[in-house]
Amino acid sequence: MSKKKKEKTPEVKFERKPWIEKAKGLRLIAIISLVLAVLVAYQIIRGSGEWGQGILWGLLFGGSVFLVYFGMNAFHKMINKNKDQDSEQK
Instruction: Classify residue 47: in a domain, yes or no.
Output: yes
CA 7 to chain centre: 41
Q: How many structural domains is the chain composed of?
A: 1
3-state helix, strand, coil split of the chain in percent (to 5) is 80, 0, 20
Instruction: Classify residue 20: in a domain, yes or no.
Output: no
Instruction: Classify residue 10: in a domain, yes or no.
Output: no
Residue 68 vs residue 17, higher pLDDT: 68
Q: What pLDDT shows up at residue 6?
A: 58
Mean pLDDT of the residues in the chain: 83
User: Which domain range does residue 55 map to?
Assistant: 36-79
Residue 34 has pLDDT above 70, yes or no: yes
- The values of phi and psi at residue 85, to 5°, are -70, -35
Instruction: Classify residue 51: in a domain, yes or no.
Output: yes
Instruction: Classify residue 60: in a domain, yes or no.
Output: yes
Residue 5 vs residue 13, higher pLDDT: 13
Instruction: Classify residue 68: in a domain, yes or no.
Output: yes
Instruction: Classify residue 2: in a domain, yes or no.
Output: no
Q: What pLDDT shows up at residue 16?
A: 72
